[in-house]
């Protein structure tokens, strides 16, 4: 299985850098109320979507491309009696009209796609003045071809942009007022905090090997 397929099979919540604690802290800083419309891209098991709907009483639409994740998210929403729109879709081809959402949230999703194309989709579906919050792995320095090969073998991703490269792609997609929060990946937190098992040993070993070269950023863009 690929890394993403393993997450879906195990139903892992909050596997993104910083975890669910970071997500809660970021969302509490935003001006979200009952009139806000939020798109959760790559919703996974629906943990974040469920939190937003409960906390802010606003309209939430959750999107994922993995049937198992969608199934687990639907079970969560039904259990909590939440009216959250759940859609199977690719982040690179979001099935929504332009100017549909006030806030788009992506938690370690964009890097698994064609980044530039997906960022353009986020920009397209956001309302004027809308906010993107994107939590993504970021190279602390450019990776060598061999290092990128190692990362690709575990995650299947084609690139790990530096902060400057992420910023350039965000600007090219139409975003401005880019605020950046820097974070370092903690492999122990990722491994034990999410109760990952031996199937994720390649992930753990990679994070340990490249701890100084791989970090993450929160990109908050308007």
What pLDDT is stored for residue 11 in this prediction? 64
Predicted confidence band of residue 156 (pLDDT cuts 50, 70, 90) = confident
Quickly tell me which residue has 């997906």 as its tokens. Answer: 118
pTM for this structure? 0.89
Quick check: 113 pLDDT over 60? yes
Q: Strand order of the sheet with strand 101-107?
A: 85-88, 59-64, 37-41, 101-107, 126-139, 214-221, 179-184
Quick check: 3 pLDDT over 90? no
Tokens of 98: 């332009």
89-126 per-residue burial string, b: 16 or more CB within 10 A, e: under 16: bbbbebebeeebbbbbbbbbbbbbbebeebbbbbbebb
Predicted confidence band of residue 4 (pLDDT cuts 50, 70, 90) = low
Quick check: 5 pLDDT over 80? no
Separation of alpha carbons 128 and 105, rounded Å? 16
Report the interhelical angle of 67-79 vs 47-56 (nearest 10°).
Answer: 30
Rounded percentage of the chain residues whose pLDDT exceeds 70: 85
Output DSSP code: residue 85: E
* Mean pLDDT over each residue of the chain, to the nearest integer: 89
Quick check: 16 pLDDT over 60? yes
The CATH number covering residue 59 comes to 3.40.50.150
Instruction: Quote the number of domains for the chain.
Output: 1
Separation of alpha carbons 200 and 192, rounded Å? 11
Per residue in 30-55, pLDDT (tens digit) is 999 999 999 999 999 999 999 999 99
| Residue range of the domain that includes 98 | 3-221
């Amino acid at each position: 299985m690929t890394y993403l397929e393993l997450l879906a099979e195990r139903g892992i919540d909050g596997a993104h850098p910083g975890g669910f604690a970071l997500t809660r802290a970021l969302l509490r800083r935003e001006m979200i109320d009952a009139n806000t419309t939020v798109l959760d891209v790559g919703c996974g098991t629906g943990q974040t979507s469920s939190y937003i709907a409960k906390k802010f009483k606003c309209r939430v639409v959750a999107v994922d491309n993995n049937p198992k994740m969608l199934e687990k998210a639907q079970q969560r929403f039904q259990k909590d009696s939440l009216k959250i729109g759940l859609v199977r879709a690719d982040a690179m081809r979001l099935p929504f009209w332009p100017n549909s959402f006030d806030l788009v949230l992506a938690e370690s999703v964009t890097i698994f796609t064609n980044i530039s194309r997906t960022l353009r989709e986020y920009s397209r579906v956001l309302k004027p003045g809308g906010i993107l919050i994107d939590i993504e792995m970021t190279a602390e320095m450019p990776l060598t071809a061999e290092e990128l090969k190692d990362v690709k073998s575990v995650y299947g991703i084609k690139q790990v942009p530096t902060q400057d490269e992420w910023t350039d792609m965000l600007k090219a997609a139409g975003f401005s007022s880019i605020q950046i929060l820097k974070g370092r990946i903690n492999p122990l937190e990722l491994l034990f905090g999410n109760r990952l098992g031996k199937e994720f040993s390649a992930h753990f070993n990679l994070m340990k090997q490249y701890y100084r070269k791989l970090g993450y950023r929160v990109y908050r863009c308007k």
